[in-house]
Chain A
Amino acid sequence: MMQLSHVAIAYLKEEPMVEFFAEPNDIRADIFKFIENEGKIDEAIDLSVRQKIETQKRTIPEGSEEWDILYRKYFEEESARRRR
């Protein structure tokens, strides 16, 4: 994540269409926090989707086709809801 923030700021610094209104290092720190936060959101979504599948009336084994479909469906729904 740290490396990605360095890559991002290096690109932005070289991009002539971008104008900076703050110190590049402060912006890099913002980018790092943002990427870190996105990772946390992903983990939270994963957890909530798993719990949702586990609370179905009947047991759906993890790794089965039905589990996969439900996981994908709920993940997309939850992701859209949280990242609106």
Chain B
Amino acid sequence: MRQSYPTFWQVGQRSWPRTRLRARMQADFRHGLLGAVRYFDLKSMRVTDQEVQYLARKIIRTLTTASRIDCDSEETVVAGLTGALLKEIRLEDALNEEARQILMSHSTTMARDNITGLDMFRKVKRELAKKKGIVL
């Protein structure tokens, strides 16, 4: 039986970490209780602010250790890089959300024409990205 899901403001909170939501969606997907569209949304839920900060720190440390760059204040540069990466990632998140909304409005057509959610999602997302000038 398909289990309950959190409302969107609960996601990322202590009781509903993304790993829990991801696991639940994957389980439901495997049992055929979830369509590909929602499963595919997980991609945008994968990255948290802390993970991006970790990535930024590792990039700066690796580059400075290998003497590829040098920076006066590691903390400032890490914070700036985290912000720049997050901005880009959230841009794609917003695109995913918009694509999902469009997809929801086309669900009847998709069922009639036997188009999978994943195919349609990719198509809509590609078109939106092109329209907005976002590189995927």
Contacts and interface: CB of A to CB of B under 8 A. Distances in A.
A6 to B, nearest CB: 8
A71 B135 CA distance: 33
Contacts of A35: 55, 59
Contacts of B26: 62-63
A26 B66 CA distance: 12
B134 to A, nearest CB: 9
Nearest to B20: A68
Interface string A57-77: 000011101011001100100
A4 B68 CA distance: 18
B102 interface: no
B84 A21 contact: no
Contacts of B80: 11, 15
Interface string A16-41: 01111110001100110011001000
B111 interface: no
- Interface of A (DSSP majority class): helix
Given A8-B59, A62-B26, A68-B23, A18 B68 contact: no
B69 A12 contact: yes
B85 A19 contact: no
A67 B23 contact: yes
A72 B19 contact: yes
Question: Lowest 7 A-B CB distances belong to which pairs?
Answer: A63-B27, A68-B20, A11-B84, A62-B27, A63-B24, A17-B72, A19-B70
Contacts of A26: 68
A7 B19 contact: no
B104 interface: no
B5 to A, nearest CB: 11
B23 to A, nearest CB: 5
Contacts of A55: none
30 contacts: A3-B135, A4-B85, A4-B88, A8-B59, A8-B85, A12-B69, A15-B80, A17-B71, A17-B73, A17-B76, A18-B69, A18-B71, A20-B69, A21-B67, A21-B68, A21-B69, A21-B70, A22-B68, A27-B69, A30-B62, A31-B63, A38-B55, A62-B26, A63-B3, A63-B23, A63-B24, A63-B27, A67-B27, A72-B20, A83-B54
